Amino acid sequence: MSKNKKIFFQIVLMFALLGFTGILINNLIINLTRTDIGFKFNWLIKPASFSLAEHSLPYSPSDSYAWALFIGWINSLKVIISSLILATCIGTLIGFLRVGKNSFFRITTAGFITIVRQTPLLIQLMCWYFVGFLSIRNNTFLNIRNILNISNKGIEFFGLYLSSEFSALLLGLSIFSSAFIAEVIRGGIQSVPLGQWEAYRSLGISEKQGFFKIIIPQALPAFIPGLTSQYLNLAKNSTLAIAVGYSDIYAINDTIINQTGRAIECFIILLFSFLILNLLITKVMGIIDKSIMRSRI
């Protein structure tokens, strides 16, 4: 095929695709008008008139729906980022133990991964919340001076107060994701050819040094794609917050849909909020990936 033909073909394909999308969007708008659902966003500036238990920024029921949604987004972000960090720490530790020499740890971590991976997250979350936190009957489970206090109201750590809803979600999400992350770590480590282990051993390098200085740097590039996909899953799974009463963006959306009846708009906002969030995660992971690749050259 000549170059001109190729370009012509590309242009035709592009127009066909644009036309197709146009038809779909047109169809959607027609259908929305016909079913009388319409497509408006002016309700966003009206007062929300519902209160929220948790907000990191000032919020009152007389603030607008848009602000309530933003507060929800911040709440989501808060739980996603903290779970992401906690899950990575737990997951990495478990992943290391899973491939380690200690057979006791190898078996227990394998058991942990099996149980956590084979049960639904929703059930785990409810378990953490209703069975874990709320069933602390006499109000206090653990109280170490004024440093750590775990009760059915939540966790208090050095004056930092985490509600039981947030704590349950944080723990549930982190533990669930950590099992997957552990498997990513194990896969990455096992992708390093056996020869490398033999090589550092034959050079007389200690196990610890060999593992962290020889094996891990080679396994790192294999971690990134798996980790990225686990992080994206974690972010999306955070919408299960609604099951444990945490005011994340999905829960707030739910209330707004009910008050305004604007389900389509709300879901589009929700979709884009998560799209932006996940594109950010992908971007950051891409940068990390690139810097690792560069450091290897």
Partner 1 sequence: MNLKNMINRLFFGIAAFGFLLTGCASNKQENISRLSLIQERDELICGVSGKIPGFSFIERDGNFKGLDVDICKAFAASIIGDSEKIQFRPLTAAERFLAIKTGDIDLLSRNTTFTLSRDSSGGNGLTFAPVVFHDGQGLMVKKESGIDSIQGLANKSICVGSGTTTEQNINDTFESLSLPYIPIKYQDLNQVVAGYLQGRCQAMTSDRSQLAAARSGFKNAKDHIILDDVLSKEPLAPASDGSEQKLADAMRWTVFALIAAEEQGITQSNIDDKVQLAKNNPQLKSLRRFLGIDGGLGEKIGLRNDFVVKVIKATGNYGEIYDRNLGKNSDVPIPRGLNEIYSKGGLHISPPFN
Residues that bind partner 1 in the complex, under the rule CB under 8 A: 17, 20-21, 24-25, 27-28, 31-32, 34-37, 49-53, 61, 130, 134-135, 137, 139, 152-153, 164-165, 242-243, 245, 247, 251, 254-255, 257-261, 263-264, 271, 275, 279, 282-283, 286
The smaller minimum CB distance to partner 1, of residues 178 and 228, is found at 228
Smallest separation (angstroms) from partner 1 to the CB of 218: 23
The smaller minimum CB distance to partner 1, of residues 134 and 292, is found at 134
Smallest separation (angstroms) from partner 1 to the CB of 81: 21
Smallest separation (angstroms) from partner 1 to the CB of 187: 21
Smallest separation (angstroms) from partner 1 to the CB of 23: 9
Smallest separation (angstroms) from partner 1 to the CB of 285: 9
The smaller minimum CB distance to partner 1, of residues 100 and 289, is found at 289
The smaller minimum CB distance to partner 1, of residues 17 and 81, is found at 17
The smaller minimum CB distance to partner 1, of residues 178 and 237, is found at 237
Q: What is the 3-state secondary structure (H, E, C) of the chain?
A: CCHHHHHHHHHHHHHHHHHHHHHHHHHHHHHHHHCCCCCCCHHHHCECCCCCCCCCCCCCCCCEHHHHHHHHHHHHHHHHHHHHHHHHHHHHHHHHHHHCCCHHHHHHHHHHHHHHHHCCHHHHHHHHHHHHHCCCCCCEEEEECCCEEEECCEEEECCEEEEHHHHHHHHHHHHHHHHHHHHHHHHHHHCCCHHHHHHHHHCCCCHHHHHHHHHHHHHHHHHHHHHHHHHHHHHHHHHHHHHHCCCCHHHHHHHHHHHHCCHHHHHHHHHHHHHHHHHHHHHHHHHHHHHHHHHHC
The smaller minimum CB distance to partner 1, of residues 50 and 200, is found at 50
Smallest separation (angstroms) from partner 1 to the CB of 8: 20
The smaller minimum CB distance to partner 1, of residues 24 and 115, is found at 24
Say if CB 200 and CB 214 are below 8 A apart: yes
Beta-carbon contacts of 103 under 8 Å, excluding residues fewer than 6 positions away, are none
Smallest separation (angstroms) from partner 1 to the CB of 137: 8
